[in-house]
Amino acid sequence: MGREGHMRRRDVITLLGGAVVAWPLAARGEPSKLPTIGFLGASTQSNWSQWTAAFVQRLRELGWIESRTVNIEYRWAEGSTERFAEIAAEFVRLKVDVIVTVGNATIAAMQVTSTIPIVFAMAGDPVGSGMVASLSRPGRNVTGFSIQVPDLAGKRIELLREVLPGLRRFAIIANVANPNTLLEIEAAQSAARKLGFDADMLEIRHAEEILPAFGMLKSDVQALYVCPDPMINANHARINTLALGARLPTIHPFRDYLAAGGLMSYGANNADMFRRSAEYVAKILKGAKPADLPVQQPTKIELVVNLTTAKALKLDIPPSVLARADEVIE
């Protein structure tokens, strides 16, 4: 008899335990609806891996742990502008709580929602491209981090001149279908004129135009200036391989573009921009409004030199450049 009573009591405890576990879910009406971040990766998952890792790590430090306290829906556009709009529309259907992206993909997201907060981890000219009303007062459902630093283009061309004292002509490779890139081209051409260099344009709109563009290079081009853009990002290794084959030193906007033989980069630390954007996402998930979060600029501009590429190009990098480098890849 005693044993039967013991069994029954255990059944009751199990039932109660089950009820306690199930109760909050039933009360909320649907199982564990965590806040959701729509992460619109403008390039490829592999090219963004360090940036994504920095973003997720900073969120975790702030108590937003993937799959435990927040869901992250990742989508990869692989540099295709058409995909930006499709992914943004999907995030609206999924009713995500915040969209994280970069540059032009931000504009695609703005076209499908004026209510879901949007955070850009990097954008070239957020005011000029109409993403925000001003840096200090973004004004709508959009804020983030600008990589626009006056004269970056000029500094990149001066670095080329230091490494190539005989520099007279270089080429600029750019996705001219991206309005933000046009500002970069303008800045690079204007800096070239000031320094007395000729700057040829390699205009591309699709990845398959990269190889033919290299075929159009004039024989006296001495270097390649690479403009930042999701499509260029998705194909930077191909560009570097072709440039190395043509014995052309390259200058890039980001450290992450140096794979497969890039020579130098001068620009913002993108992993840091993604870390800082995670801080804005955390604030928004707690109720902050994008309109009240000012657009911020890079805290640090980094120079990275790839000595392996320099050796392959038989280039001596001047000690003055190496001394200023934040990182030297050997």
From residue 160, give the alpha-carbon distance in Å to each of 9, 125, 193: 81, 24, 14
Are residues 287 and 180 located together in one domain of the fold?
no
The pTM for the full model equals: 0.84
Are residues 85 and 224 located together in one domain of the fold?
no
Are residues 247 and 98 located together in one domain of the fold?
no
- Beta carbons of 115 and 121 less than 8 angstroms apart: no
Residue 143, domain member (yes or no):
yes
What's the number of domains the chain is made of? 2
Are residues 158 and 226 located together in one domain of the fold?
yes
Place of tokens 């390039």: 43
For 236, the domain range is 152-268+301-329
**Using CA atoms in the order 249, 253, 258, 261, what is the torsion angle rounded to 10 degrees?**
-20
C-alpha 144/C-alpha 122 separation (Å) is: 7
Residue 160, domain member (yes or no):
yes
**Cα 327 to chain centroid, rounded:** 20
Residue 239, domain member (yes or no):
yes
The per-residue pLDDT for 32 is 59
Place of tokens 């930042």: 228
pLDDT < 50: residue spans in the chain? 1, 3-10, 12-31
CATH of the domain at 244: 3.40.50.2300
**Count of beta carbons in the 10 Å neighbourhood of residue 223:** 21
The per-residue pLDDT for 254 is 93
- Stated as kind and residue range, the H or E segment containing 202 is strand 198-204
Residue 104, domain member (yes or no):
yes
Are residues 169 and 122 located together in one domain of the fold?
no
Are residues 116 and 156 located together in one domain of the fold?
no
| Per-residue pLDDT tens over the stretch 119-148 | 999 998 899 889 999 999 999 999 999 998
The per-residue pLDDT for 29 is 43
Burial class (CB in 10 A: 0-12, 13-18, 19+), 33: exposed
**Token code pair at residue 67:** 């799959």
The per-residue pLDDT for 185 is 94
Are residues 106 and 47 located together in one domain of the fold?
yes
